[in-house]
């Protein structure tokens, strides 16, 4: 079994994690100084989102240099210190690879703009003549995932394709130069000691030959994503096999995992489970983010269906579970209450496979309101100010104190990367570390128990103690047993047939009844006094 099959991986969004130099923006040295928070939490790995040079048209996912470090975040030496510290703390570190597009400030795109139509420089991107009598219409009907057409016209009349913001031109993955340059990017970060990669927009690198129209309803039904001519093309898979071979063979520097243990996880917005499973066949990626779980409603039937479907899809790797990310609404807000988010955490962390946590989730942060004049997300402009975008889950973490900037930076609160709300004093790491009933304490206890009781087979379905129509979910994975009451009435958990003794609950219990929106963990081990530390968790 490989470490990533059961890993708890913590997503670190560097500009909002911790600031070391007082400029109001989180940075690599700040992250290094605070990595012990992630180790104490009990995570196994860290995924750090893009820290590369970027004009920040899309929070750093518009990269101008794939092997550099953004000056506001530090230097290459700061990255080396971050990875060394992570490894010292026993944490693996994975970085983002963003191969679908570059920044429009990337030298390749600047060269392409300066070059003539049909040139090799333009051939690295998707430049096309327009339709209409004078080429005034976009080459096809593709829509950007951020709204509006996926095409922008340049001065000489050609159009270029961008599935995201216009500042993120899509690369042409049939261009040999692009292909070999990205292999070099992989090798570069492997040489610096990374333990793997999260591959951004892994479903979109190739577009169907001839760039045919996509038709109506684009981006409206995720279950149809794999049918779009710009997604899920067959040519992705030989490319991922090529990358896997690089990961499997490129020498590992001291401190990083051996080559065959390196992780490649796909950010693939393909919702059809059979299509998604193709990304994690042996010899390709190890894992793909399970967005169906992230988007599932707080409903026992829907969650049961997503869990069963996720675990039954064929594929070589292990299933992932996530409740949040820098792209999603915070679970407290999305699910409707702090209690539900806490129960969802125990549900997720009891499932077999890997869990991805996003910074601030362990603090139970709600989605923050970001005023119009501080919004950074391109969705705001692209949607004509109808979609406020994702900034509400990207505000800087509160570490200590009663008012902004809550120990995040030495800068004045109005200079932070995004503004933090008032009233977050009770959410700070410091306040929660001292409170045994806090969400931080719950996550710490859950991760300790989970680590002490790994799933015997992280790819196997759980043992179900509840039936598909029940208002609760009850299941076991190895010795760890979980009951979640998703109904509207209290549940006498002792009648659900679950074995074991209670060790951790997401909220106060009432005798042997579990209130609605509450989860309970039990341990089904023969020796209650055994070394597994059954008092790690707190029973209310
Ligand atoms: C997915 C990233 O998570 C998101 O933040 C970004 O906007 C898009 N990919 C485009 O790179």
Catalogue the long-range contacts made by 214-219 (C-beta closer than 8 Å, 24 or more residues apart): 214/140, 214/141, 214/142, 214/143, 215/141, 218/141, 218/142, 218/143, 219/143, 219/145
CATH superfamily of 107-161: Oligo-1,6-glucosidase; Domain 2 (3.90.400.10)
Q: What is the mean pLDDT of residues 302-326?
A: 90
The share of the chain scoring above pLDDT 90, in percent, equals: 92
In which band, very low, low, confident or very high, does the pLDDT at 79 lie, cut at 50, 70 and 90? very high
Tokens read off for 301: 């039937």
Residue owning the nearest CA to atom 5 of ligand 1: 327
CA distance 11 to 360: 10
Question: For the segment 331-350, what is each residue's pLDDT rounded down to a tens digit?
Answer: 999 999 999 999 999 999 99
User: Same CATH fold, 107-161 and 3-100+176-292+318-328+353-419?
Assistant: no
Radius of gyration of the chain measured on its C-alpha atoms: 23
Question: For the segment 21-69, what is each residue's pLDDT rounded down to a tens digit?
Answer: 999 999 999 999 999 999 999 999 999 999 999 999 999 999 999 999 9
pLDDT of residue 539 exceeding 70, the answer is: no
Nearest atom, ligand 1, residue 164 CA: 10
In which band, very low, low, confident or very high, does the pLDDT at 313 lie, cut at 50, 70 and 90? confident
Residue from 167, 200, 205, 324 to probe ligand 1 pocket by mutation (most atoms less than 8 Å from CB) = 200
Compute the Cα dihedral for 403, 358, 327, 207 and give only its sign.
positive
Question: For the segment 114-170, what is each residue's pLDDT rounded down to a tens digit?
Answer: 999 999 999 999 999 999 999 999 999 999 999 999 999 999 999 999 999 999 999
Question: For the segment 494-510, what is each residue's pLDDT rounded down to a tens digit?
Answer: 999 999 999 999 999 98
Tell me the CA–centroid distance for residue 465 and ligand 1, in Å: 38
Tokens read off for 380: 């705001």
Q: Is the CB of 164 under 6 A from ligand 1?
A: yes
Query: What residues are labeled active site?
Result: 200, 267
Q: What is the mean pLDDT of residues 471-490?
A: 97
Mean pLDDT across the chain, nearest whole number?
Answer: 95
Q: Is the CB of 175 under 6 A from ligand 1?
A: no
- For the beta sheet containing 320-322, the strands, ordered from the edge strand earlier in sequence to the opposite edge, are 287-288, 263-266, 196-199, 92-97, 45-48, 8-12, 354-358, 320-322
pLDDT of residue 402 exceeding 70, the answer is: yes
Tell me the CA–centroid distance for residue 200 and ligand 1, in Å: 7
Tell me the CA–centroid distance for residue 435 and ligand 1, in Å: 35
Domain layout of the chain by residue ranges: 3-100+176-292+318-328+353-419, 107-161, 293-317+329-352+424-540
CA distance 381 to 388: 9
Residue owning the nearest CA to atom 6 of ligand 1: 61
Residue from 201, 202, 294, 376 to probe ligand 1 pocket by mutation (most atoms less than 8 Å from CB) = 201
CA distance 347 to 475: 9
Architecture of domain 3-100+176-292+318-328+353-419: Alpha-Beta Barrel (3.20)
């Amino acid at each position: 079994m490989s470490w990533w099959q059961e890993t708890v991986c913590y997503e670190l969004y560097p500009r909002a994690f911790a600031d070391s130099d007082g400029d109001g923006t989180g940075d690599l040295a700040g992250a290094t100084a605070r990595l012990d928070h992630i180790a104490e939490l009990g995570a196994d790995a860290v995924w750090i989102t893009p820290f590369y040079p970027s004009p920040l048209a899309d929070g750093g996912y518009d990269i101008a240099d794939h092997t550099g470090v953004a000056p506001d975040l530090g230097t290459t030496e700061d990255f080396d210190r971050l990875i060394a510290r992570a490894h010292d703390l026993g944490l693996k570190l994975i970085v983002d690879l963003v191969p679908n597009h570059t920044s429009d400030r990337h030298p390749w795109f600047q060269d392409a703009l300066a070059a003539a139509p049909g040139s090799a420089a333009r051939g690295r991107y998707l430049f096309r003549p327009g339709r209409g009598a004078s080429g005034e219409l976009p080459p096809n009907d593709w829509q950007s995932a951020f709204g509006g057409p996926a095409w922008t016209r340049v001065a000489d009349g050609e159009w270029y394709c961008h599935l995201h913001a216009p500042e993120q031109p899509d690369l042409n993955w049939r261009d040999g130069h692009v292909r070999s340059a990205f292999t070099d990017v992989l090798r570069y970060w492997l040489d610096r000691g990374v333990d793997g990669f999260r591959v951004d927009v892994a479903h979109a690198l190739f577009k169907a030959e001839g760039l045919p129209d996509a038709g109506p309803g684009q981006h409206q039904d995720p279950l149809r994503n794999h049918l779009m001519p710009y997604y899920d093309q067959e040519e992705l898979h030989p490319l991922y096999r090529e990358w896997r071979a690089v990961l499997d063979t490129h020498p590992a520097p001291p401190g990083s995992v051996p080559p065959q243990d390196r992780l490649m996880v796909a950010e693939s917005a393909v919702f059809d489970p059979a299509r998604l499973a193709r990304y994690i066949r042996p010899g390709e990626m190890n894992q793909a983010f399970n967005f169906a779980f992230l988007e599932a409603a707080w409903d026992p039937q829907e969650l049961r269906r997503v869990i069963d479907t996720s675990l039954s899809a064929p594929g070589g790797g292990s299933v992932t579970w996530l409740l949040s990310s820098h792209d999603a609404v915070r679970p407290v807000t999305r699910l409707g209450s702090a209690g539900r988010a806490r129960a969802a955490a125990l549900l997720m962390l009891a499932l077999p496979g890997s869990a991805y946590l996003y910074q601030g989730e362990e603090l139970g942060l709600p989605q923050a309101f970001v005023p119009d004049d501080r919004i950074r997300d391109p969705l705001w402009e692209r949607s004509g100010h109808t979609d406020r975008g994702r900034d509400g889950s990207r505000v800087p973490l509160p570490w200590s104190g009663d008012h902004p900037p809550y120990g995040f930076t030495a800068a004045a609160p109005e200079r932070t990367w995004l503004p933090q709300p008032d009233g977050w004093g009770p959410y700070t790491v410091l306040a929660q570390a001292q409170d045994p009933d806090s969400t931080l304490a719950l996550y710490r206890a859950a991760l300790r128990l989970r680590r002490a009781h790994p799933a015997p087979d992280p790819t196997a379905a759980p043992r179900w103690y509840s039936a598909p129509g029940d208002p609760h979910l009850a299941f076991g994975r190895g010795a760890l047993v979980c009951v979640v009451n998703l109904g509207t009435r209290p549940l006498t958990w002792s009648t659900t047939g679950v074995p074991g003794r209670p060790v951790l609950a997401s909220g106060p219990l009432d005798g042997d009844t579990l209130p609605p929106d509450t989860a309970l963990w039990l341990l089904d081990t023969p020796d209650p006094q055994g070394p597994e530390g059954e008092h790690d968790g707190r029973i209310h």
